[in-house]
Amino acid sequence: MIANAQMVETQIERFAALPLDCGSVLTPVDIAFETYGELNANRSNAILITHAFSGDAHAAGIHRVSGRPGWWDNMIGPGKAFDTDRYCVICSNILGGCAGTTGPSSIDPATGQPFAMTFPVITVPDIVRLQKMLIDRIGISRLLAVAGGSMGGMQALEWSVAYPEMVAAVIPIATTHRHSAQQIAFNEVGRQAIMADPDWDRGSYYLQRPPARGLAVARMVGHITYMSDSSMKEKFGRRLNGREALTREAAGFDFSAEFEVESYLRYRGSQFVDRFDANSYLYITKAMDYFDLSYGRGSLPAALERAEARFLLVSFSSDWLYPPYQSEEIVRALRSRNRDVAYCELSSQYGHDAFLLEVEEQTELVRGFLNSTYQRVTR
């Protein structure tokens, strides 16, 4: 356990109904969330952290039940980028997830059984709509900032145009305003891996064995996209498990995990199965693929013309899942509408995972941006 770490608990709020873009209405709907730091007297210091695809509400501190640190604990806390001595930070589990917020593994009150594939298809705007309901209930009329990486960046962008009056600043990191064909293709491979597993049983596996093999393969494919060629070369190279080099004598001439990278991917896949729901994987990746900030709003510049917030966009040089050009498209659209935007492409060898690992430079960028925003809001 980390010395002097903040112990935190996940809270649940329930709402009577949530209308969805697909036309369905969820009744009721729960949202899991955590808070770090304290709201000031006029509630002007609240920051919403939006998580990536496989994240959850536990973004910082040590969870009182599980004992594990938050997924962005290196960025959220006293004296860190999102300084909880100064700001009140909130993070909620997304709609469709499997960590306390209503999703396909939740019980359908109409049947008393898990929703499974009867759960309605969701969108990123649906996810943000539920977050907005939570922020309203907490009693916050305007967020100092909404910040997130990857899919979290999509949510931050949606906040900026769906509820412009409620957001003073937006920090989308390593993200995009819509998926490319390649990004949709990777998600589809993952979905097909799950649905091809005989244990998936059309999603009705909750009282049986889960589709562990399919979900593990989906995670393996996804994890490859989170790393870069150089980071994989440095971490694994062509090293074998417990052997010096691949020679005729050393080769097993079978399909066991001989290379370190094979063992690593299999481990990450099996680890993911223990904490994530396969149906949530299907629903959340589909929501990501549907996301297009310009949908129903004309062009991307026209959509961002609604925004009243100031923006800080961050990308990473080796990120080939959400490459820098996609952040640059957003920056150009904002500048074409004379919006307040700063952009930085950070040099990193870690690929997409850099937003979780490259702490020092991100901290300086975020700290300065939040400080100037807070001064504007409170002057």
If you search the block for the tokens 């090293």, which residue do you land on?
Answer: 239
283 in Cβ contact with 121 (< 8 Å)? yes
First and final C-alpha spacing in the chain: 40
Helices 278-290 and 151-162 meet at what angle, rounded to 10?
A: 50
349 Cα distance to chain centroid: 20
252 in Cβ contact with 258 (< 8 Å)? yes
Query: Which residues does the annotation mark as catalytic?
Result: 150, 319, 352
Question: Rounded to whole angstroms, what are the CA distances from 28 to 22, 62, 109, 235, 274?
Answer: 17, 30, 8, 46, 27
Q: 362-371 as b/e, with b when 16 or more CB fall inside 10 Å? A: bbebbbebbe
Pairwise CA distance, residues 243 & 246, whole Å: 8
Pairwise CA distance, residues 352 & 347, whole Å: 12
If you search the block for the tokens 């039940």, which residue do you land on?
Answer: 65
